[in-house]
Amino acid sequence: MKKILIALALLTLPGLTVASGDGGFHPMTAPIDPHNDASLQKGAKLFVNYCMGCHSLEHQRYNRMARDIGLTDEQVKENLIFTGAKVGDLMKNAMPKTEAKQWFGVTPPDLTLIARSRGVDYLYTYLLTFYEDSSRPFGVNNAIFPNAGMPHVLWQLQGMQKPVYAVHKNAEGHEAKTLTGFELVQPGSMSPPEYKEAMADLVNFLAYVGEPIKLERQAIGIWVVLFLVLAFVVFYLLKKEYWKDVH
Ligand code: HEC
């Protein structure tokens, strides 16, 4: 009985960590497709243009990325390298870590594994839910990462949105408000659906970077399973042959 209880407690653990990580705001589902090279290429372009000033992808090389998302080394050199790096280099940036800490209060993390540590839905929601908040140093807050130290670097694309709250009474009878959505108060250069699609591309790219070998692994997996099925048939027939005189 005790063992069953412990097993049950362990089973609920992953659920608990997710619940504590979402800052009260439910993550939206990221509509990503790892097979869509066009989407991955658009995501890579957004990343090098808008994120790499502060964030690196230290465990990823430009030429590996090129091959995996359907680009040539030349295309990457011309369109995606702004740091003076060579095409075989790791995707580092020139942001000095100690100064970054002074500017933002926290060093912008390397994002190579962020899709695996936080999940794609979290990332998608994070990028969609920056909102105006004059009490914060950069004038914005985030729904899923309250008091994030990152400015809304994509405000020119998305525009600026204000939070919409629902007011209700909590258990003690006090008024409490929960964030339910947003209202676009200043449009950006993209329409809301365009911005959503762009963020799906960016998250798709970050998910690829987190596990570049994923598609290959799945393809190999199919062959491994086929091999095992075939091996089972052969071994079964062998067993029958060996034991036929005994029985
Ligand atoms: C001006 C610098 C700057 C730029 C540009 C920038 N970020 Fe950030 N980012 C930060 C800082 C600083 C943090 C750390 C925030 C914290 O921990 O409070 C951060 C944190 C993050 C996190 C981690 C959130 C978490 O839950 O820990 C993600 C994901 C992220 N950034 C994604 C992006 C993406 C995607 C872009 C490009 C669209 C981008 N950032 C552009 C400064 C920047």
Which residue puts its alpha carbon closest to atom 37 of ligand 1?
51
- State pLDDT tens for residues 56-89: 999 999 999 999 999 999 999 999 998 889 999 9
Candidate from 18, 46, 54 with most ligand 1 atoms within 8 A of CB, to mutate: 54
- State pLDDT tens for residues 81-121: 988 899 999 999 988 888 999 988 999 999 999 999 999 99
Which residue puts its alpha carbon closest to atom 8 of ligand 1?
150
Q: What is the number of the ligand 1 atom nearest to the C-alpha of 126?
A: 29
Q: Are 184 and 161 in contact (CB under 8 A)?
A: yes
Quote the ligand 1 centre to 77 CA distance (angstroms). Answer: 25
Residues 169-206 as b/e (b if ≥16 CB within 10 A, e otherwise) read: eeeeeeeeeebeebeeeeebebeeeebbebbbbbbbbb
CA distances from 35 to 3, 65, 98, 201, 204 (A): 43, 14, 38, 12, 10
CA distance 154 to 49: 10
- State pLDDT tens for residues 147-191: 999 999 999 999 999 999 998 888 888 888 889 999 999 999 999
Count Cβ atoms below 10 Å from residue 27 Cβ, excluding itself: 22
CA distances from 220 to 32, 63, 132, 217, 227 (A): 22, 23, 47, 5, 11
Quote the ligand 1 centre to 153 CA distance (angstroms). Answer: 9
Quote the ligand 1 centre to 142 CA distance (angstroms). Answer: 11
pLDDT number for residue 147: 94
Quote the ligand 1 centre to 168 CA distance (angstroms). Answer: 32
